[in-house]
Structure 1
Amino acid sequence: MGDIYEDIRKGERGAVISIAAYLVLSAFKLISGTLFASSALIADGFNNLTDIVASTAVLIGLRISRKPPDADHPYGHFRAETVAALLASFIMATVGIQVIVEAVRSLFEGGKAVPDIRSAAVALVCAVAMLGVYVYNKRLAQRINNAALMAAAKDNFSDALVSIGATVGIVGAQFGLPWIDSAAAVVVGLLIMKTAWDIFRDSTYRLTDGFEENRLLDLRSTIARTPGVEAIKDLKARVHGNHVLVDVVVEVDAGITVMEGHRISDSIEERMGKLHNIMNVQVHVEPSAKEARENPS
């Protein structure tokens, strides 16, 4: 269990890096956008200020999930991670809608001043920096299997896309094609909405105890091959934060001792940990239904 809390602590580091990056980049974009008369860069800077809220929500969720089990939360607080990811999806969707609305408004407004070309360089540098944060957080989230940090990483990627869209728009304006800015913004907004939907769908699936059928079949196969297990009467699994909880009812020979039944349970738990990295397995042992029918009391 200590390793789980250590992984969450590593996830917090990724969220802090996101917050720090957004603080620096938003200030850089807002100042540069004002100096170079780039509305696209200023909008991108305000977008990053909004993203600080999403990353802060992820950080708070990770902090809460590190709290140990208590009387009200006997399984711990790990689901706070998933709730944080869900909140991040709402914030991302809001940003996506805002980007699309602003793009459409800008398209019909017209008559905007051409921004300084140097603002495109600023947007591009910021995009590269945010892609670096995205790669770091994505790899860390995959290594520690953390849904909240993965949501933050996807948010990082969306912001890199926004900066790339701003770059395209600024360059297009130099050639008298201001509509490119709006077109790029609409595409970016749709990509952000798609990312938000993916995070929302995954988070709600986890929070409603959804579990992949194929993965459940793999667990069933592992348990069925455990020596002493004659049948599997029931098997359930659910995701709880960054780890899996499994409840299984197995049938064994009715003539074995309690000690032997306990040994079979230990064997199941050991195999689940070794083959599937699942450390939370509740095993209930029952006498074989076949033997019960053949030897009624």
Structure 2
Amino acid sequence: MRPGAEPGEGGQRFGHTELPPEQAHALRRAKRLEVVTLVYMASAVAVVFATAGSSQAMKTAWVEDSLALVPPLAFLVAVRFGHRRPDADHPYGYHRSTGVGHLTAAVALLAVGLLLAVESAMSLARAEHPPIGTVQLFGQTFWAGWLMVAAMTYTGIGPFVLGRMKLPLAEALHDKVLYADADMQKADWMTAAGTIAGVLGIGLGLWWADSSAALLISLSIVHDGWTNLRHATTALMDERARTYDDEHPHPLTRRVDEVLTNLTWVDDSRSRVRDQGHVFHVEAFVRPVAGRAPTLEQLEAAVSVLSDLDWKVHDVVVMPVRDLPDTIPAPD
């Protein structure tokens, strides 16, 4: 456990980093929500499959709902691996499992989205007219499109609610897989709305509405896949640590140097902070004040001060140097 950290509730941890109570609670809640998501989306996949008929938009929505199972699975697997402590073969621990899960989900989204986009565009070019017939249910005969609309209403409401519930947990845990899952689910109502518009368009005699809706849904999947692929790839290439949503450099990257330069024996500091998954690895190069070589106690105190900044500061190395590395720019 890092110095100064309070033990997490119920022994929740990432590697050998014990989580504070807030993050321990968030992790348990996130795992429960992801299990609920898997069950809900599995039911949604079954409902859409049963009502899809010949609608291209419904088939595309079915594939998207099936893909929605990947991020929750990736999160649960990554968290399970992330619990493992460092060993001889993995001295940095298993925190990168989050990045692997993020990359896996992104590749699946992008590849399938591109295939669906091509198929939808070809259907539109061929001017296909998908028929929607009638069905008998409880002794009543009615247009099958109403079943499709009901199915898409069901698949749109749940993800919207679950996505909004996951967003604050993704921030608390600094989990990019959970954030990607939450962000995509939060926007799933647009897929449902587009599919409903396509089905109703068929009912109104607008043959192109179905394929157009399918194409728009496909392009949405491609956008999600490309965005997540870009973020997952740059993270695995040791880009400097960024916020959970990848919008900005993480504030801790600046705080590390600010804290070190406030120490009496430090003249200047440059650090490298990389995101290992949920936690950060910090390599700090410090130039001591002239004539004041740091003692072992001072170096240990510097490590302790950085570790106390935040629970995410996991591995810390403080290296006194004569000259600061040219390859590390000054903090923003």
Give unmatched runs, 5+ long, in structure 2. 1-16, 133-143, 242-248, 325-332
Q: CA deviation at 1:124?
A: 2.1
- Does residue 16 (structure 1) correspond to residue 60 (structure 2)? The answer is no
Amino acid at match of 2:238: D
Query: Secondary structure in 1 aligned to 2:145?
Result: coil
Report the Cα distance in structure 2 between the residues aligned to 1:113 and 1:287, rounded to whole angstroms. 76
Give the one of 244, 251, 262 matched to 2:280.
244
Q: CA deviation at 1:247?
A: 0.9
Contact residue 54 and residue 91 of structure 1 kept, 8 A: no
Amino acid at match of 1:246: V
For residues 89-140 of structure 1, give each alpha carbon's deviation from its aligned partner in whole angstroms, at most 9, with x where no partner exists.
Answer: 0111123123312322332252321352332132123111121122122222
- Does residue 3 (structure 1) correspond to residue 39 (structure 2)? The answer is no
Contact residue 229 and residue 264 of structure 1 kept, 8 A: no
Contact residue 272 and residue 279 of structure 1 kept, 8 A: yes
Q: CA deviation at 1:237?
A: 1.5
- Does residue 227 (structure 1) correspond to residue 264 (structure 2)? The answer is yes
Give the one of 270, 273, 277 matched to 2:308.
273
Deviates more, 1:83-92 or 1:185-194: 185-194
Give the one of 285, 289, 298 matched to 1:263.
298
Query: Secondary structure in 2 aligned to 1:227?
Result: coil
Report the Cα distance in structure 1 between the residues aligned to 2:160 and 2:318, rounded to whole angstroms. 45
Query: What are the residue-to-residue correspondences of 1:87-236 with 2, within 5 Å?
Result: 87-107=104-124, 108-114=126-132, 115-157=144-186, 159-211=188-240, 215=251, 216-232=253-269, 234-236=270-272
Q: CA deviation at 1:46?
A: 4.0
- Does residue 32 (structure 1) correspond to residue 69 (structure 2)? The answer is no
Query: What TM-score do you get using the length of structure 1 for normalisation?
Result: 0.82
Contact residue 224 and residue 230 of structure 1 kept, 8 A: yes
Does the C-alpha gap of structure 1 residues 275 and 102 become closer, same or farther in structure 2, counting only changes over 3 Å?
A: same
Report the Cα distance in structure 2 between the residues aligned to 1:257 and 1:214, rounded to whole angstroms. 28
Deviates more, 1:113-122 or 1:186-195: 113-122
Report the Cα distance in structure 1 between the residues aligned to 2:35 and 2:271, rounded to whole angstroms. 39
Contact residue 64 and residue 221 of structure 2 kept, 8 A: no
Report the Cα distance in structure 2 between the residues aligned to 1:75 and 1:262, rounded to whole angstroms. 25
Does the C-alpha gap of structure 1 residues 256 and 50 become closer, same or farther in structure 2, counting only changes over 3 Å?
A: closer
Contact residue 57 and residue 88 of structure 1 kept, 8 A: yes
Contact residue 88 and residue 151 of structure 1 kept, 8 A: no
Amino acid at match of 2:315: N
Runs of 4+ deviating beyond 6 Å:
none
Deviates more, 1:269-278 or 1:112-121: 269-278
Matching residue of 1:293: none
Contact residue 260 and residue 302 of structure 2 kept, 8 A: no
Give RMSD over aligned pairs.
3.0
Give unmatched runs, 5+ long, in structure 1. 290-297
Query: Secondary structure in 1 aligned to 2:19?
Result: helix
Q: CA deviation at 1:19?
A: 1.6
**Corresponding residue pairs, total:** 284
Deviates more, 1:272-281 or 1:77-86: 272-281
Report the Cα distance in structure 1 between the residues aligned to 2:239 and 2:67, rounded to whole angstroms. 31
Q: CA deviation at 1:218?
A: 4.5
Query: What TM-score do you get using the length of structure 2 for normalisation?
Result: 0.74
Contact residue 145 and residue 200 of structure 2 kept, 8 A: no
Query: What are the residue-to-residue correspondences of 1:16-95 with 2, within 5 Å?
Result: 16-34=35-53, 38=55, 40-95=57-112
Amino acid at match of 1:262: E
Matching residue of 2:12: none
Report the Cα distance in structure 1 between the residues aligned to 2:104 and 2:310, rounded to whole angstroms. 33
**Identity score, percent:** 21
Query: Secondary structure in 2 aligned to 1:247?
Result: strand
Contact residue 44 and residue 154 of structure 2 kept, 8 A: no
For residues 21-79 of structure 1, give each alpha carbon's deviation from its aligned partner in whole angstroms, at most 9, with x where no partner exists.
Answer: 21111112222335xx6553344234423432443233222211221111111111010
The structure carrying a bigger helix percent of its residues is: 1
Report the Cα distance in structure 2 between the residues aligned to 1:105 and 1:231, rounded to whole angstroms. 61
Contact residue 165 and residue 181 of structure 1 kept, 8 A: no
Matching residue of 2:6: none
Does the C-alpha gap of structure 1 residues 199 and 45 become closer, same or farther in structure 2, counting only changes over 3 Å?
A: same
Report the Cα distance in structure 2 between the residues aligned to 1:154 and 1:288, rounded to whole angstroms. 44
Query: Secondary structure in 2 aligned to 1:117?
Result: helix
Deviates more, 1:239-248 or 1:50-59: 50-59
